[in-house]
Structure 1
Amino acid sequence: MAASDSNPNPRFYALVPCAGTGSRAGTSGPKQYERIAGQPLVWHTLAAFAAVKRIARAMVVVAPGDGFFERNPTSALVVPCGGATRAQSVKNGLYELRRVGATENDWVLVHDAARCLVTPELIDKLIDAVQGDEVGGLLAHKLPDTLKRDEDGRVAETLDREDKWAAQTPQMFRIGMLLQGLERAGNGVTDEAAAIESLGKRPLLVEGGAQNFKVTYPEDFAAAEIVLKGRMR
């Protein structure tokens, strides 16, 4: 029996790891709380998921002692169980989802807090593409640039870009399978798809688009603000 047939009505949960420090962003505090287009960055992220009616519940995983959401209430469930790595934060969040009633056969959409340009339409696109799949999948974007591998700061090799994709989020998998993958892959794995790959499975790639980038470096804030303000017109 296919995984998608084992429960005729699986639910969809959103899990937003929000415990990072944003060390590359050049901000004085966690980048997810910096203001973009008049609001904290993470507010834009959560608003996109709140607009998707199929999402049963959204959970935000923050670092212990993080008081942002105490000062700025949200309809999402906020849990202070963030770990030292993304994988730890996601794994801890999955256990919290189970604690509040999610089952191992329910879907979870894990999304970077700092990927604030995601839209409800992209989230729905991922759900539509993946909900009948036995493995799960992720938003990703075909790489347009020529790729170089370096050695000591010089080009060592030009890589074929034809089959290369940049992984994005959300990444959507069954809760039970993702927990199994994270346990196997360890705390150093950098995305959920890699954890699923550690089980010998091949996640589905769903085109996300160039605008669904992660705010990582100082110049990314200005680019994200331009896009968000353009959508508000």
Structure 2
Amino acid sequence: MTSFAIGTAPQLYALVPCAGIGARAGAAGPKQYAWLAGRPLVAHTLAALAQVSRLAATLVVLAPDDGQFEAAVPGFGGERQWLARCGGETRAQTVAQGLDELLARGAQPHDWVLVHDAARCLLRAEWVDRLIDACADDEVGGLLALPLADTLKQAQDGRVANTLDRSDKWAAQTPQMFRLGLLRPALAAADSAVTDESSAVEALGWSPKLVAGEMENFKLTWPADFSLAARLLAARGRDFS
């Protein structure tokens, strides 16, 4: 079991890595600043996190040379909205340096950090609350995820090499919620095969909890994802065009 000394009740922080370039999205620049339903993609993401009342603060981690954020999300800042230009070359480096920033701002090892992809802009506050409720008393933490519904194929040279058993397969989403004092050493020990926070924690021998997510909480990755997200935001009344 983990052995963090807990005095006061742990705080909850959101951390949004926002230092990538999003090359697969086909956008002219970083996809977090691509226009979507009347505002930049990342503005939708941060608006959703702002509705989670249990978060002590949300930290957005930018690339050191980012010059677009303030124009993209005017008014972001204050007591519960923090910004740091300390992103790294990889997601893991950006999150790790964001954790250091949280420590510098007073976060403690026993506090929870919810890492969320900037490109999952369809997030709803109730999904975050579901994750918090499921993991608040857990010794490890966990993540939103979806059981795979589609038949899963393994490819080789553009053809099917094998059909894989999907019965125990889940698609990871974010937020992913872990104690700062567990996630920080996990990322420090991570290698290049680590693509999310859960896999870093798993590499230390822990088993994060799977919490049922929602299909709408997809990561905008390919050009077609943007038109789908725009339709879903419009259906919610969140089209600011």
Name the TM tier (shorter chain): over 0.9
Q: Report the secondary structure of 1:149's partner residue.
A: strand
Q: Which residue of 1 aligns with 2:167?
A: 162
Selected match of 1:212 from 212, 217, 221 = 217
Equivalent runs, 1:37-48 vs 2, <5 Å: 37-48=37-48
Equivalent runs, 1:167-178 vs 2, <5 Å: 167-178=172-183
Q: Report the secondary structure of 2:114's partner residue.
A: strand
* 1:24 aligned partner, one-letter code: R
How many Å apart are 1:4 and its aligned residue? 7.8
Q: 1:89–1:9: structure 2 CA closer, same or farther, 3 Å change rule? A: same
Conserved 8 A contact 1:4-1:131? no
Following the alignment from structure 2 to structure 1, what is the Cα–Cα distance between the partners of residues 159 and 85?
Answer: 43
Q: Which residue of 2 aligns with 1:13?
A: 13
Q: Which residue of 2 aligns with 1:82?
A: 87
How many Å apart are 1:187 and its aligned residue? 5.0
Conserved 8 A contact 2:2-2:140? no
Following the alignment from structure 1 to structure 2, what is the Cα–Cα distance between the partners of residues 60 and 45?
Answer: 11
What 5-or-longer segments of structure 2 have no aligned partner?
Answer: none
TM-score by length of 2: 0.93
Comparing 114-123 and 179-188, the one that deviates more: 179-188
Aligned length: 233
What 5-or-longer segments of structure 1 have no aligned partner?
Answer: none
How many Å apart are 1:70 and its aligned residue? 3.0
Cα distance per residue 1:185-206 (max 9 Å; x no partner): 1355110000100110000000
Following the alignment from structure 1 to structure 2, what is the Cα–Cα distance between the partners of residues 80 and 187?
Answer: 22
Conserved 8 A contact 2:152-2:166? yes
How many Å apart are 1:139 and its aligned residue? 0.2
Cα distance per residue 1:47-104 (max 9 Å; x no partner): 1111111000000011111112333341321111111100000000000000000001
- Runs of 4+ in structure 1 off by over 3 angstroms are 1-5
Q: Which residue of 1 aligns with 2:68?
A: 68
Q: Which residue of 2 aligns with 1:151?
A: 156
Comparing 101-110 and 71-80, the one that deviates more: 71-80
Q: Percent identity?
A: 58
Equivalent runs, 1:171-186 vs 2, <5 Å: 171-186=176-191
Conserved 8 A contact 1:4-1:134? no
Equivalent runs, 1:185-224 vs 2, <5 Å: 185-186=190-191, 188-224=193-229
